[in-house]
Structure 1
C-alpha cells in the first residue's frame, strides 16, 4: 500500500482517486486550494497532478517544500483552448509542462504519464478494443518504477507501458493532445488512447 495524494477533484482526479483506493492504496484527494493541496502532499509518498495544466506550475511550485523528496506523477496537459473548449494549441511549444514542473521542483522526481488518453482509459485500459499505450517520461529510474507499479495496479499490463526516457521526452507525449479535438469531432466523446502497435 502506498500513500497517494491526488491534486484535483475533477473527472480525471476523481476517477484516479476512486480506482487507486479500490486497488488498496491510501488516497487523499484534494482540490486545488493551497491549504488542502499542501496538507495532502505533505502526507503522501506519491502525488498525482490532476489540476488544470494551465495553472499547474504556479500551483505546484507553491508546494515545493511539501513535495521535496516525493514522486510527482503529472497526468495533465497544458493547452490553450479553442472557442469550443477543446485543446487548440500547446502552452509550452518546444518544451513541456512536465519539464517546467521539474525545473520548478528540483527536489521532486517528476514522471509524466497517462496524459495521452481520455480519462476513463486511465483506470480501465482493457476496456478498449485494442491495447492502449501508457508512456513514462522522467529522470529518476526508481520513480518511474514506482509509477510503473501504480499503472499495474490500475490494470496496465507490462507490454502496454513504454518508458520513453528522460523528462524531455514528455514533449512528444504532451503533443499527442493535439489529436484529441479532431478525434472527438470525428467520433464523439468515446474513450480512446494513443497506442504504439508493433
Structure 2
C-alpha cells in the first residue's frame, strides 16, 4: 500500500483517486482549502498533480519543502485554451510543464505520465479496442519504477508502458495534447489515447 495525495478533485483527480483506492492504496484528495495541499504533501509518499496545467507550476512550487524527496506524478498538460475551450497552444513551447516542475522542485522526483489520453482511459486502458500506450518521462529510475507499479494497479499491462527517458522527453508527450481538439472535433468526446504500434 502506498500513501498517495491527489492534488485536484475534478474529473481526472477524482477518477484516479477512486481507482487507486480500489487498488488498495491510501489516497487523500486535496481541494482548494488553504493549507490542505501542504498537509497532504507532507505525509504522502507519492503526490499526483491533477490540477489544471496553467496554474500547476505556481501551486506546486509553493510546496517545495513539503515535496522534498517525494515522487510527483504529473498528469497535467499546460495549455492555452482556444475559442471553443479546447487546448489551442502550449504554455511552455520548447519545454514542458514537467521540466518546469523539476527545475522548480530539484529535490522532488517528477515523473510525467498518463497525459496522452482522455481521462477515462487512465484507469480503464483495456476498454479501448486496441492497447494504448502510457509513456514515462523522468530522471529518477526508482521513481519511474514506482510509477510503473502504480500503473499496473490501474490496469496497465507492462507491455503498454513505454519509458521514454529523462524528464526532457516530456515535452514530446505534452505536445501531443495538440492532437486532442482535432480528434474530438472529428470523432466526438469518446475515450481515446495515443498508441505506439509495433
Compute the TM-score of the two structures, normalised by the length of structure 2: 0.99
Aligned equivalents of 1:82 and 1:190: distance in 2?
20
CA positional deviation for 1:32: 3.8
Q: Is the 8 A contact 1:32 1:51 kept in 2?
A: no
Structure 2 residue matching 1:64: 3-state secondary structure: coil
Structure 2 residue matching 1:126: 3-state secondary structure: helix
Cα deviations across residues 48-74 of structure 1 (Å, max 9, x unaligned)? Answer: 000000010000000001100000000
Map of 1:109-148 to 2, 5 A cutoff?
A: 109-148=109-148
Map of 1:172-183 to 2, 5 A cutoff?
A: 172-183=172-183
Q: Is residue 190 from structure 1 mapped to residue 173 from structure 2 by the alignment?
A: no
Structure 1 window deviating more from structure 2 (51-60 vs 27-36): it is 27-36
Structure 2 residue matching 1:63: 3-state secondary structure: coil
- Structure 2 match to 1:67: 67
Root-mean-square deviation over aligned CA pairs? 0.6
Structure 2 residue matching 1:47: 3-state secondary structure: strand
- Structure 1 match to 2:157: 157
- Structure 2 match to 1:92: 92
Structure 2 residue matching 1:65: 3-state secondary structure: coil
Task: Give unpaired runs (5+ residues) of structure 2.
Answer: none
Q: Is the 8 A contact 1:34 1:59 kept in 2?
A: no
Aligned equivalents of 2:111 and 2:32: distance in 1?
20
Aligned residues: 198
Stretches (4+) displaced over 4 A: none
Cα deviations across residues 83-122 of structure 1 (Å, max 9, x unaligned)? Answer: 1000000000000000000000000000000000000000
- Structure 1 match to 2:79: 79
CA positional deviation for 1:43: 1.4
Aligned equivalents of 2:138 and 2:34: distance in 1?
25
